[in-house]
Amino acid sequence: MQITKASDAVGAVVEDVDVAQLSDDQFAELRSQFFDHGALFFKDQKLSPEDHIAFAERWNDIDVNRFFTPVEGYPQIAKVLKEPDQKLNIGGGWHTDHSYDEVPAMGSILYALEIPPSGGDTLFAGMHAAYEALDDDMKARIENLKALHGNAHIFGKDSAYREEVGGRYKNAENAGQEAIHPVVLKHPETGAKGLYVNPGFTLKILDVDEQESAELLQTLYAHIMQDRFHYRHKWEEGMLAMWDNRSTWHYALNDYQGHRRYLNRITVQGVPLN
Ligand code: SIN
């Protein structure tokens, strides 16, 4: 098994390994690299749904997503699908999965089944690198702040976005989860500090007025959106990507109109954040 950094800020590429046949030593190595790099990218995997589930369960129990349409017969696996005639993709904006939950999913494991001839890359951003690059004044300003996260504007019944995504999301009546998390998160496994707000699900920063919250979020988002904190993952069929939702953002690019893109995703349970 060979592991090389994907970029300075986030991710590592893992080669010469079959994730369906990992030894305990290989898994321990992957686990440590995963928390250090925030994301792992594997090529040439041949995974049945059962293999995908078994790999996910080596990390922790599966955190079944409430809103994505599951693969038939496999409620644990969410479809990330865009048909040739659909305009909007799933995940087409910077976000991190499940930050609206009190115990957000630790990681997401995405397996590529059908990739368009060009386009459909996923961008990743590293929250530790972004935090470390803040100046000391900003670090001090945000050190003890908390933010409110929620999902009704994305998955709820009044969401225009959900309407447009159409049948690919379900369960709108069960949306509305909200959770409060630190803006600066000490990673539960490594203790490294990172930013934990995201444009997809963070509603506001608490204990400051609305304008200050909006301005501060805007400043942090503009900082994180600099290319130097990113890695652009180009998919091939059979690739598997796994990211840590507590230390990365991701963004599925929607630049392949008229083509099908289909991946299966499993989210793995995390731990309370404090
Ligand atoms: C997601 O946001 O989980 C989907 C990412 C992708 O389709 O690349």
Distance CA 174, CA 233 (A): 32
Q: pLDDT value at position 96?
A: 97
Instruction: Please give the full DSSP string across 248-264, using - where no structure is assigned.
Output: EEEEE----TTS-EEEE
| 115 CB near ligand 1 (under 6 Å) | no
Continuous segment of H or E residues that includes residue 241: strand 240-244
Ligand 1 pocket test: pick from 69, 90, 95, 240 the residue with the most ligand atoms within 8 Å of its Cβ: 90
Report whether 132 contacts 247 (CB < 8 A).
no
220: tokens are: 């942090």
Q: Which residues contact 55 (CB under 8 A, 6 or more apart)?
A: 19, 20, 22, 47, 109, 240
Give the span between the Cα atoms of 147 and 270, in whole angstroms: 18
Say which DSSP state 44 is in: S
Q: Quick one: which atom of ligand 1 is closest to the CA of 265?
A: 3
The finding on whether 254 has its CB within 6 A of some atom of ligand 1 is: no
Cα 22 from Cα 161, distance rounded (Å): 39
In contact, 244 and 98? CB cutoff 8 Å: no
Closest by Cα among 18, 258, 256 to 122: 256
Q: How much is the pLDDT for 166?
A: 83
Cα of 122 to ligand 1 centre, how many Å? 7
Q: Would the CB of 90 count as within 6 Å of ligand 1?
A: yes
- List the residue whose alpha carbon is closest to atom 4 of ligand 1: 91
The predicted structure's pLDDT at residue 274: 84
Average pLDDT, consecutive stretches of 10 residues, N- to C-terminus, the chain (274 residues): 97 97 97 97 98 98 94 97 96 97 98 98 98 98 98 92 87 93 98 98 98 98 98 98 98 98 98 93
Report whether residue 96 contacts ligand 1, using a CB cutoff of 6 Å.
no
In sequence order, the β-bridge partners of residue 70 are: 78
The pLDDT score that the predictor gives to residue 259 is 98
Q: What's the CA-to-centroid distance between 139 and ligand 1, angstroms? A: 30
Phi-psi group of 73: left, alpha or beta (phi > 0 → left; psi -120 to 50 → alpha; rest → beta): left
Centre of ligand 1 from the C-alpha of residue 236, in Å: 14
Collapsing DSSP to helix, strand or coil, 179 comes out as: strand
Q: Which of 181, 197, 214, 183 is nearest to 248 (CA)?
A: 197
Amino acid identity of residue 12, one-letter, is A
Predicted confidence at residue 266, as pLDDT, reads: 98
265 a catalytic residue: yes
Report the distance separating Cα 196 and Cα 153, nearest Å.
Answer: 19
Enter the DSSP assignment of 190: T
Instruction: Establish whether 230 is a catalytic residue.
Output: no
Ligand 1: atom nearest CA of 121 is 8
- Reference 68, options 215, 210, 208, 171; nearest CA is 171
Q: Is the CB of 265 under 6 A from ligand 1?
A: yes
Active site residue 250: yes
Phi, psi of 133, rounded to the nearest 5 degrees: -85, -5
Q: Are 272 and 65 in contact (CB under 8 A)?
A: no
Cα of 185 from ligand 1 centre, angstroms: 23
Q: Catalytic annotation on 95?
A: yes
Which of 77, 79, 86, 108 should be mutated for ligand 1, with most atoms under 8 A from CB? 108
Q: Is 242 in the pocket of ligand 1 (CB under 6 A)?
A: no
